[in-house]
Structure formats: structure tokens, C-alpha cells
């Protein structure tokens, strides 16, 4: 699982995003490259960074993989592509991923948009934070910390009173992790 998420997400909340089983999948070079990332947990961050350096066109096929960790790795790699035309394309793909049917992919796309810090991500993050799905509210809390826009921090205070315990815990851990005042 992503090292940047493992640092501050409560175990129960992180479990909400874990896909049941990673069966199926093809054998493309891109898929194999992303599968290797998750086989070496210690080198995960550097491996994702290296895959991101290969660019959007290399990462894009992994978004359609049948293997959940491959898709999640691709979303994380897109978060690291921030500059120029490649960055705009990465943002577009992340936004498209927030419209997907797989709740896990949507959650990680929200977090990745926060990490990417694209201006167009802010309203999406707020929208998911205010939405009905607690898993996506949790992801939005995480994205707020990654995004780093102080105007969003009051939402974390609001999340302290969320009906869902995992959302409350995630907001608290995000505040601790990023040194955001309050609770």
C-alpha cells in the first residue's frame, strides 16, 4: 500500500480502500512495472517516482488494469506529474478517475489530486468532502492535507464531528501529520 497513505490513515480507514483480492490482469510491460512496485514495499516511493518520470503515456494503460494495486500505483504516479502539458494531462486523467465505478479508485484519485495540487482539484475535493459516501469523505480529508491550502483546513475541524468514526480519525491524523492546528 502507498507509503504516503500508511503514515497517517487509521488502519480501519485504510482497510476501507483495500480491494478484496487482486486477481486477473494482463501482462503488459506497464502492468508488470507497477506490480514490481508493490512487491518491494521499502522501495515503493522511489519506484513510483521512477514510473512517473516515464510520463503520462507510460502510466495511462495501468489505469485500466484488472489489478487494483496497479491502478492505485498509476494514480499515485499521476499525482507526481505536475508540470506543463504532461501535468495537465495527468490532472485530466485523475479527474476522470473520480468519475469511475470503483470506489477504491475514486478514493485514491481524490487523494492523488490533492497530492498533485492542481487548482482545479480544490472544488472536487470539497465536493467529495460534502458528499454522502464516508469512504470518499475520508479520502477528501486526506486530500486536504496533501493539497496544503489553508482555506480548506476548517473542513478538517468539521470532519471531527462526522457521523463516521473513520472519517473523524482520518481528519485527526491528517491534522497531526501536517501540523494543522485544532483538535
Q: Which pLDDT value is given to residue 41? A: 66
Q: Which pLDDT value is given to residue 39? A: 64
Q: Which residues contact 22 (CB under 8 A, 6 or more apart)?
A: 67, 68, 69
CATH number of 3-17+27-178: 1.25.10.10
For the stretch 128-178, pLDDT in tens is 999 999 999 999 999 999 999 999 999 999 999 999 999 999 999 999 999
Q: Which residues contact 90 (CB under 8 A, 6 or more apart)?
A: 56, 59, 78, 79, 81, 82, 116
For the stretch 6-33, pLDDT in tens is 433 333 333 333 333 333 344 677 777 7
Q: What percent of the chain has pLDDT over 90?
A: 69
Structural domain spans, the chain: 3-17+27-178
> Could you tell me the three cell numbers for 111?
487523494
Q: What percent of the chain has pLDDT over 70?
A: 81
If one compares 146 and 38, the residue with the highest pLDDT of the two is: 146
Q: Could you tell me which of 133, 177, 100, 142 has the C-alpha nearest to residue 14?
A: 142
> Could you tell me the three cell numbers for 167?
472519517
Amino acid at each position: 500500500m502507498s507509503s504516503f497513505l500508511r503514515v497517517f490513515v487509521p488502519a480501519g480507514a485504510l482497510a476501507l480502500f483495500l480491494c478484496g483480492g487482486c486477481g486477473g490482469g494482463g501482462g503488459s510491460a506497464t502492468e508488470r512495472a507497477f506490480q514490481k512496485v508493490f512487491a518491494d514495499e521499502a522501495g515503493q516511493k522511489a519506484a513510483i517516482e521512477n514510473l512517473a518520470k516515464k510520463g503520462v503515456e507510460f502510466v495511462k494503460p495501468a489505469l485500466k488494469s484488472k489489478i487494483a494495486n496497479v491502478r492505485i500505483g498509476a494514480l499515485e504516479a499521476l499525482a507526481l506529474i505536475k508540470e506543463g502539458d504532461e501535468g495537465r494531462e495527468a490532472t485530466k486523467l485523475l479527474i476522470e478517475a473520480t468519475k469511475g465505478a470503483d470506489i477504491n479508485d475514486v478514493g485514491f484519485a481524490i487523494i492523488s489530486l490533492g497530492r498533485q495540487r492542481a487548482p482545479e482539484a480544490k472544488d472536487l475535493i470539497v465536493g467529495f468532502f460534502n458528499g454522502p459516501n464516508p469512504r470518499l469523505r475520508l479520502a477528501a480529508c486526506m486530500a486536504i492535507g496533501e493539497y496544503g491550502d489553508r482555506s480548506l483546513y476548517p473542513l478538517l475541524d468539521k470532519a471531527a464531528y462526522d457521523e463516521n468514526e473513520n472519517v473523524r480519525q482520518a481528519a485527526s491524523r491528517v491534522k497531526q501529520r501536517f501540523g494543522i492546528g485544532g483538535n
